[in-house]
Structure formats: C-alpha cells, structure tokens
Amino acid sequence: MKKNPFIWDYYSDQPHVIRDKKYKKSMRKKHVFDYIKLFFTSIVVLPISIILMKLFKSNTELEYGIGVNFDKGEEQYKLIEELGIKYLIVRMPLWEIEKIDEYVDFSKKFIEQDKDINILLNIIQDRKHIENKKELEKNVNLIFEKFSSFVEEYQIGTTINRAKWGFFSISEYLSFYKIVQNIRNEFFPNLKLIGPSVIDFEYYYTARALFNFEDIKYDKHSSLLYVDRRGSPYNTQYKFFDTKNKIDLLYSLTKMSWKVSNEIYITEVNWPISNTSPYAPTSEHECVSEEDYKKFMLEYHKIVKDTKKIKRVYWHQLIAPGYGLVDNREGKLRKMPAFEAYKEMING
C-alpha cells in the first residue's frame, strides 16, 4: 500500500513538507501548462498593478479577528470573552468531516456566549476532495446545511500556493472553488464565499487566481499576508515592498480584477516564537522572542489600519505555543505578553 504523502503536524497545526519528491515532481509536471499561464498572467498583470497601486484610495475601518481551533479545547470560550473580540475564524478540515457535529457545537457555543460574534468558517482542502468531485459536492453540501443557520461567510481553501496543503496548481483551486460556488448558487444563495487565500508575498499566484476566464467570483478577497518572519513588519522585500506597499499592491489587484470585490480579509498572520520547537511553524532561525512578537504584532496592525484598505485581520491564533497568544503546554494556560497587548489594542 502506497504511503500517504500528506501528513498533518499536530504541533504546528499545518501539514508536513511533502517528502516524496518523486510524487511531487510528477504532480508538478502534470500541471506544467498552468505554470505557463501563471507566468504570462503575472508579467502582464503585476507591472500594471504596481504602476497603479498608489492611485487607488480607500477609507476602510479595520476590524480585528482571531483564529480558534476545535482541538484547543473549551478554555477558548473564556479567553474570547475576556478579549471581547467579535470576529472569529474556525477551521473545518474536510478530512475530519465525520466530526462535523462536534465542529458545529464548538462554533455555536461562541455565539451562544455572545450573539454579536461573527464566525468565518475556513473549509480546508485535502487531496481526496480535490480529486474526487462527488465527495467534495457531498461534504460541502453537508457543511453548508450544518453551519448556514449561524455562519454566513466561508473561506474556501487555504494556502493554495503550497503543495503540502494539496493543490498543485491554481487551475486545481479554481476547479475546486467553482464546485463550491455552484452548490452555493443553487442551494445557499445567501452565503458569502471568500478566496483565494494565497500565503505570503507571492502575488503571481494571486494574479492568476484573480485574472482568468473561469466562471467564478469571490465575494471578498482573502490573503494570508505574512511579511517578514525574521523581523519587523517595516522591513522590506525586493528593497521596496514593506507591509504598506504589499497591501497597496494587493488592493490594486483587487481593484483591477472583475472576479472579486475590493473588500480584503487578511485571514492568517503571526510570528513564530523562539524556543518552542516542535510547536513553531518554522525553523528557529525565523523565530522571535515573546517581546518582539508582541512588538511586531502591534506594528503590523497599526500599519494595516493606517492603509485604510483592509477590512479585517485575523490573528493566527488564540492558543498555540509556537505562534499564538496563549501557551497551553503542560496542561495549563499561560498568557504570553502579546495577549494583554492584543486585548488593549482591540479595545483601545
């Protein structure tokens, strides 16, 4: 029996890197035509969007959100109540569809605790559901049936430009999204679908997802906009693109595209914390101290808020020893310095 190349890391809440290089190479070869599309889309779209990015203005007020996870326990209810935050993102992995009622109960309790809470449900892909259209249709229908009475917004997929998360091309993602969109259009027309959820400053993938001839439309744009895992959000990439300029360019792309509104959610961002291996999602080289984590978190939100171009930022996440606001190792909770700083920021 062939070994599954997709393995989940329960410490860092993400998949392991695919170690089967032969499989990875064969899948990329299979999708080589889409990489050609990606290249040509990028060389046309990105230069224009860079030229125009300082011309587009907005006056959006920033909303604060945070990630909560089913497997992090009921302690989250009290912590969310203490923070007073109103926007939550919850992951619903398709490979755990048999636990859907538990995910529903977990999510619903936040709203029972505070009726002003708004939940964004992230439907997370796996290879089985990418390849099996019937399975995807069946289980997305089930998710919408179970959640639609109290959840209106759904992020379709996540981290679509990393093979370890299941997609080997943007075409695969667009096909995946279209199936979900068709179900929404036919049976759940009031629900909002959010995508494409590209991680990091890899806007060539964003351009390909926003400029194509597929019959799709994102109700809102989602981005996992990490900036500099080794330092300040004021640092630059390619000598020019700091956090502000990256947001300006992202906003420019959404303004130019006919596939999406220019309402943007950053649905995942954090810094990895030193001396927390194996819980840190990166190597120790990228990790920062708890004090720097707090400082960079506050700076990041200030920069984003001042651009007036982002509707909502979801910090990733509430409880996670390697990158969150609360450490839950050894069976007890420890609020890190960033927890109090985050509470003061969102209520300030």
Whether the predicted pLDDT of 48 surpasses 70: yes
Q: What is the rounded average pLDDT of the residues 216-222?
A: 98
Whether the predicted pLDDT of 228 surpasses 90: no
Q: Which residues pair with 87 in a beta bridge?
A: 65, 118
pLDDT digits (tens, 9 = 90+) for 252-298: 999 999 999 999 999 999 999 999 999 999 999 999 999 999 999 99
pLDDT digits (tens, 9 = 90+) for 29-42: 999 999 999 999 99
- Residues 260/218, Cβ–Cβ less than 8 Å: yes
Task: Supply the DSSP string of 282-342, one letter for each residue.
Answer: S-GGG-B-HHHHHHHHHHHHHHHHHHT--SEEEES-SB-TTTSSEE-GGGS-EE-HHHHHH
Q: Which residues pair with 43 in a beta bridge?
A: none
Whether the predicted pLDDT of 1 surpasses 70: no
Angle, to 10 degrees, between the axis of helix 133-147 and the axis of helix 170-187?
Answer: 50
Q: Which residues contact 242 (CB under 8 A, 6 or more apart)?
A: 227, 233, 234, 235, 236, 303
Strands (DSSP E) contained in the chain are: 8-9, 14-15, 63-68, 87-93, 118-124, 153-156, 192-199, 220-224, 264-266, 312-315, 326-327, 334-335
**pLDDT in the model for residue 2:** 64
3-class SS of residue 237: strand
Whether the predicted pLDDT of 229 surpasses 90: no
Q: What is the rounded average pLDDT of the residues 174-196?
A: 98
In the chain the domains, ranked by start, together with CATH numbers, are 19-347 (3.20.20.80)
Residue closest to 93 by CA, chosen among 117, 121, 131 = 121
Q: pTM of the prediction?
A: 0.97
Question: What letter represents residue 165's amino acid?
Answer: W
Dist. CA 309–CA 55, nearest whole Å:
12
pLDDT digits (tens, 9 = 90+) for 115-156: 999 999 999 999 999 999 999 999 999 999 999 999 999 999
**pLDDT in the model for residue 343:** 98
**pLDDT in the model for residue 252:** 98
Whether the predicted pLDDT of 225 surpasses 80: yes
How distant is the alpha carbon of residue 208 from its chain centre? 18
Dist. CA 188–CA 207, nearest whole Å:
28
Q: Compute the chain's Rg from CA coordinates.
A: 19
Whether the predicted pLDDT of 331 surpasses 90: no
